Structure 1
Amino acid sequence: MANERFDSVWDAIEDTPEEAMNMRLRSELMTQITKRVENWGVTQKEAANRLGITQPRLNDLLNGRINKFSLDALVNLTGPAHFHIELILEDKEAAVA
């Protein structure tokens, strides 16, 4: 059996590159939002209030339950968490040509 190397754990466990990318993005957003909440140094109730979500939903976020959050839902939390998001698309076809 040959050892395979992957760029990320998501590439190893997801079925398609698109699914792996979605999980990488969700993971990064969850990590950054969690760090922000921890830096606030407030109760979960107050943090949930700031983010506009329920405390159980915040608990899911803080405990890394990634499958409970869509990419869209996490993007929507970046505003209340005071993040600015930019999307950068690289044209791989143009780079090859």
Structure 2
Amino acid sequence: MKKSVKNVFKDVGFSDAESANLEARARLIILLEKEIVRLKLTQAEVAKELEVKPPRVSELMNGKIDKFSLDLLIVYLARLGKAVDFKLKQAA
């Protein structure tokens, strides 16, 4: 059994760079989902706030990570009144 490196994307074979990008996008999607739930917004309200069509909200809420870039996720968070703060650390 292979030991986990605490990054599911790296565990399944993505390169260090790819796994870092995927992990960051996954974390931002989770933060967006939590904020949407906290605000008790309907899908239509989320679409209006994010300036997207409802199917795009569905993709977001269903974790379709491949559909969203880091910069777009940051824009969506900003549209919900949130700012993203980065912390850099040495790669493992």
Q: TM-score range by the shorter chain?
A: 0.7 to 0.9
Unaligned ranges ≥5, structure 1: 93-97
Over the residues paired in the alignment, what is the CA RMSD in angstroms? 1.5
TM superposition shift of 1:4: 3.0
Provide the TM-score with structure 1 as the length reference.
0.82
Q: TM-score, normalised by structure 2?
A: 0.86
Residue identity over aligned pairs, in percent, reads 27
Spell out, residue by residue over 1:48-91, the C-alpha distance to the aligned partner (whole angstroms, 9 max, x if none): 1011111110110001111111111111111012211122334x
Matched residues in 1 for 2:80 and 2:13: separation? 29
- What letter is aligned with 1:85? V
Correspondence for 1:51: 50
Q: What is aligned with 1:63? A: 62
CA displacement 1:13-39 (0-9 Å, x = unmatched): 242101000011000000010111112
What is the aligned residue count? 90
Which residue of structure 1 lines up, in the alignment, with residue 28 of structure 2? 29
Task: Name the CA shift for 1:18/1:46 in 2 (closer, same or farther; >3 Å).
Answer: same
Where does the alignment leave 5 or more consecutive residues of structure 2 unmatched? none
Amino acid at match of 1:88: K
